[in-house]
Structure 1
Amino acid sequence: MIVEERIYRIRSGKTSEYLKLVREKGLAIQEPILGGLIGYFVTEVGQLNQMVHLWRYADFADRVARRRTLSEDARWRVFIPKLTALIESAENRILLPTDFSPLQ
């Protein structure tokens, strides 16, 4: 199992708009394709205007296949420009659980 951590810095004043888009349209497209949403978070202290979401995959090949399917989805192609217009920067990390992690 791997976890993908996606960190988006949202343009100042656009957090509510971003969250509304994800809540009302984005997750309905993403979740059936990607599966494995662990959580969606906003920052409260430290670097502000950030969204952090975590997705679980069986392995890297599973992630690649699911992300490819998402990128080819016609609904996603229409939706993503609306979302990316609100994102100032993005960072992705692939996390591997330790042998003692509760997530395996």
Structure 2
Amino acid sequence: MGERTGMLLDHRTYTCRPGTLKKHLALYEKHGWAAQTRHLGMPFAYLTTETGDVNSYVHVWMYEDAADRARRRAAMQADPEWIAYLEMSAEAGYLEKQENKLMVPVPFVPAPTRAGG
């Protein structure tokens, strides 16, 4: 198989203070989801943890490349609705830490398709 091009995955793991995960996700669903998906499209995955650190969740966003990611994220960061959500999230104080990894698929596994746009 040839090498794949045109795919960058942004894998993000967030950890909430114990007992606040559901509150954090409810705040995001109400105030952040629409703005984020308007700019980034639908995530490849958005998952809560069943085992291990049950105060954490993961989401994965797909981009064509680093330039596509930078363009979409810059537009999101300039969106007043997203800015308002970030302020609400910071004020709530539910998040303890965040880890981001930019990843590319290996060439021998079939490519996932973008879920959304």
TM-score, reference length from structure 1: 0.91
Match of 1:96 among 101, 104, 111: 104
In structure 2, list runs of 5 or more residues that go unmatched: 1-6, 113-117
Instruction: Report how far residue 76 of structure 1 moved.
Output: 0.8
Alignment of 1:28-43 (within 5 A): 28-43=34-49
Runs of 4+ that moved beyond 6 A: none
Aligned positions, number: 104
Determine which structure has the larger helix proportion and give its number.
1
- Root-mean-square deviation (CA, aligned residues, Å) is 1.3
Instruction: Report how far residue 33 of structure 1 moved.
Output: 0.3
Determine which structure has the larger strand proportion and give its number.
1
For 1:47-95, what per-residue CA distance to the aligned partner results, in whole angstroms no more than 9, with x for missing partners?
Answer: 2200100000000111011111111111111111222421100000001
Percentage of matched positions with identical amino acids: 34
Larger Rg: 2
TM-score, reference length from structure 2: 0.82
Alignment of 1:28-67 (within 5 A): 28-67=34-73
